[in-house]
Amino acid sequence: MADLASIVNDLVAEGDDLDSIVAGLQPDQWRTSTPAPGWTVAHQIAHLRWTDRASVKAATDPDAFKEILTQSQSQPNLVDVDAANGAREDPAELLATWRETRRDIADVLLATKSGEKLPWFGPPMNAVSMATARLMETWAHGQDVADGLGLERTPTDRLKNVAHIAYRARGFAYMTNNLTPPDSTVYLELAGPSGELWTWGDPHDDQSVKGSALDFCLLAVQRRHRNDCDVTANGAEADHWLEIIQAFAGPPGAKREEAHA
């Protein structure tokens, strides 16, 4: 994968793209519902702000982050509560503070020492993995915002970062579903938005997943139903992976309904 500076640049660009969508919204448009039940556009941005702030704490003040982690364990609905609180703020203030935290996380990650492990809600991560995770979540929640507003986003090759973290998280997807990760490996082959072919693993593997990078990423962040995605599996274990795939930390997410069911 790319170096830290390159991924942080992608993270900044992803945030800027979402910013360009919400910056011109009227106050009532911030209350537009998104596909996440009970969450408006404001909830989505408030959640990104909260997670960026938690990331900054993880990188700069591990003890303070430990308090956040303990609170999240004792209060399972903490994410929803914080998003709801943020959604009640004046949209201009919410936007301004989200922009501030985006600048903070970019600066903090670039200043992190090579190889340093940062605590997180899942396994500890280095700065490259943290930046990739932040990009993935920004893109995923940006998709919720776009879907809620009825907008079609143009996919970019930044999706390679999302696909990478989803591929690396294959074992985690099993564990978060209380399943034992298989010993087998899976070859992944995706067509990127620019037409470039992206691959992970051994092309001679008897388990493989192939298809559209955009659709694979939408499936991995659980923003589309598998039947609505141009992604195919060859082999029983590859097929099972697509049923439980999850690129983000935490318990299994609520999967989306099939669009044409």
Here the CATH number for the domain that contains residue 51 is 1.20.120.450
Whether residue 180 is contained in a domain is answered as yes
Q: Which of 151-165, 192-206, 245-259 is least confident?
A: 245-259
Mean pLDDT of 13-40: 97
Whether residue 250 is contained in a domain is answered as no
For residue range 230-243, what is the model confidence (pLDDT) as tens digits?
999 999 999 999 99
Mean pLDDT of 154-178: 96
Total count of domains within the chain:
2
Residues in the chain: 261
**Edge-to-edge strand ranges of the sheet holding 187-191:** 197-200, 187-191, 208-212, 231-234
Q: What is the pLDDT of residue 260?
A: 65
User: Which residues share a beta bridge with 190?
Assistant: 198, 211
Q: What is the pLDDT of residue 196?
A: 97
pLDDT surpassing 60 at residue 1: no
**Residue 190 and residue 115 share a domain:** no
Average pLDDT over all residues of the chain: 95
Q: Which residue has the tokens 């936007």?
A: 95
Are residues 132 and 161 in contact, defined by beta-carbon separation less than 8 angstroms? Answer: yes
Q: Is 196 helix (H, G, I), strand (E, B) or coil?
A: coil
pLDDT surpassing 60 at residue 109: yes
pLDDT band, residue 261 (cuts 50/70/90): low
Mean pLDDT of 216-234: 97
Picking from 104, 121, 149, the residue at the C-terminal end of a domain is 149
**Residue 102 and residue 168 share a domain:** no
pLDDT surpassing 80 at residue 216: yes
For residue range 54-67, what is the model confidence (pLDDT) as tens digits?
999 999 999 999 99
Task: Let me know if 261 is exposed, middle or buried by CB neighbors in 10 A (0-12, 13-18, 19+).
Answer: exposed
pLDDT surpassing 60 at residue 249: yes
With a pLDDT cut of 70, the percent of the chain lying above it is 98
Give CA–CA dist 85/77, Å, rounded.
Answer: 12
**Residue 182 and residue 124 share a domain:** no
- Kindly state the DSSP code that residue 198 receives in the 8-state scheme: E
pLDDT band, residue 190 (cuts 50/70/90): very high
User: Which residues share a beta bridge with 210?
Assistant: 189, 232
Q: Is 260 helix (H, G, I), strand (E, B) or coil?
A: coil
Are residues 79 and 72 in contact, defined by beta-carbon separation less than 8 angstroms? Answer: yes
**Residue 49 and residue 13 share a domain:** yes
CATH code of the domain covering residue 224: 3.30.1050.10
Whether residue 16 is contained in a domain is answered as yes
Give CA–CA dist 64/49, Å, rounded.
Answer: 17
Phi then psi dihedrals of residue 125, to 5 deg = -135, 155
Mean pLDDT of 112-139: 93
Q: What is the pLDDT of residue 55?
A: 96
Which helix (H) or strand (E) segment holds residue 210: the answer is strand 208-212
Q: What is the pLDDT of residue 9?
A: 97
Structural domain boundaries, residue 20: 4-149
pLDDT surpassing 60 at residue 124: yes
**Residue 105 and residue 168 share a domain:** no
Which helix (H) or strand (E) segment holds residue 199: the answer is strand 197-200
Picking from 149, 178, 205, the residue at the C-terminal end of a domain is 149
Picking from 100, 116, 149, the residue at the C-terminal end of a domain is 149
> Which string of b and e fits 145-155 if b means at least 16 CB within 10 Å?
bbbbeeeeeeb
Whether residue 249 is contained in a domain is answered as no
**Residue 215 and residue 186 share a domain:** yes
Of residues 219 and 2, more confidence is placed in: 219
Angle between helical axes of 41-60 and 62-74 (0-180°, round to 10): 130
Give CA–CA dist 126/59, Å, rounded.
Answer: 9
**Residue 136 and residue 59 share a domain:** yes
pLDDT surpassing 70 at residue 214: yes
